[in-house]
Amino acid sequence: MDNKSLVSIDDYSKEEILEVLARAAQFEKNPNCNLLEGKVVASLFFEPSTRTRLSFETAISRMGGRIVGFTDSSSSSVTKGETLKDTTKMVSNYCDLIVMRHPIEGSARYASEVSDVPIINAGDGANQHPTQTMLDLYSIMKTQGTLENLNIFMVGDLKYGRTVHSLLMALSHFNPTFHFIAPPELEIPRGYKIFMEKNNIKYFEHSEFNDIINDADILYMTRVQKERFADPLEYEKVKNVYILKNDMLDNTKANMRILHPLPRVNEIAVDVDNNPKAYYFQQALNGVYARQAIIAKALNL
């Protein structure tokens, strides 16, 4: 087992989160370096995720590393019936670090136990996606100057959205106040409410999406996914309730920024894109710096 792996956001302490964010800021100033010169990173995408993969591959390339791997499991020996264990063991012989995306939950933790080199989890099913959380934190830090004492509003699918859950856990170190805006079908799971109550974290739940967002420092939007609804009528009822339109931002705080893990469908109207409070495209770019910092930490560089 390698403890330098990043499988779940809980693997990082508060100090480690801050250390990686500070490192990400350095990479943003000087993205090109040769820290990974002579190193081989395996990029194993057992399911396609173009956005995440390109972000990782950009991070590795800017650090001077080489990439081997596959972009979906149809081009790997998985189609011949090879187990994750065997694939991981074999690849870990070849490389210095493995970046892995896999549809099965817990696969990254298991891989980190059979691999001789560190694993960075680039998403394991509906479970964890810690590099997304780190880039979300980096974006919050960059736009607010701090992670402490912020009003965080989360909107949309709070039940199934893993980015919401991981961000909630990570921010719990920094005395946040959460506001959750979701239809009852997609409200934040009970387990997380118990977690917040145990840790004295203030939270409020709303089903209306209106001028309560005027208090927000961060507005974290997510997509309401049709496939989550058993009854298509229920989806039709809520799908247009949580759309952010430009005029809703008129009385929001000047420092407020809108984040979204992307891809978006219609939950942020296109006219918001030109508002200076829209931050989701810069947020995606921040992913490269955050991943550079995570890779450097995993390899002790």
Partner 1 sequence: MNTKKELQVSAIENGTVIDHIPAEYLFQVITILGLDKSKNSVTFGNNLESKILGKKAIIKISDKFFKDEEINKISLIAPHAKLNIIRDYKVAEKKIVESPKKVVGIAKCMNPKCITNVEAVTTRFQVINNAPITLKCHYCEKITDHKNIEIV
Residue 152, H or E segment: strand 151-155
Comparison of 84 and 268: residue with beta carbon closer to partner 1: 84
Q: What is the DSSP string of 247-289?
A: GGGTTS-TT-EEE--S--SSSB-GGGTTSTTB-HHHHHHHHHH
Q: Tokens 């780190």 — which residue? A: 134
Comparison of 168 and 238: residue with beta carbon closer to partner 1: 168
CB of 108 to partner 1, least distance (A): 9
Single residue of 19, 61, 76, 110 touching partner 1 by CB under 8 A: 110
Enumerate residues 122-161 that contact partner 1 by CB under 8 A: 124-128
CB of 174 to partner 1, least distance (A): 22
Comparison of 31 and 189: residue with beta carbon closer to partner 1: 189
Torsion of CA 284, 285, 291, 292, to 10 degrees: 180
Interior angle at CA 77, CA 74 and CA 79, nearest 5? 50
Q: Tokens 């005395």 — which residue? A: 175
Enumerate residues 45-74 that contact partner 1 by CB under 8 A: none
53 is an annotated ligand-binding site residue: no
Enumerate residues 7-26 that contact partner 1 by CB under 8 A: 8
Phi, psi for residue 171 in degrees, rounded to 5: -70, -15
3-state secondary structure 5-59: CECCHHHCCHHHHHHHHHHHHHHHHCCCCCCCCCCEEEEEECCCCHHHHHHHHHH
Query: Is 129 annotated as catalytic?
Result: yes
Comparison of 45 and 138: residue with beta carbon closer to partner 1: 45
Q: Which stretch binds partner 1 (CB under 8 A): 37-45, 106-114, 140-148, 268-276?
A: 106-114
Considering the rule CB under 8 A, would residue 107 count as an interface residue with partner 1? yes
Annotated binding site for carbamoyl phosphate: 51-52, 101, 129, 132, 262-263
Residues making contact with partner 1 (CB under 8 A): 8, 83-85, 103-107, 109-110, 124-128, 191
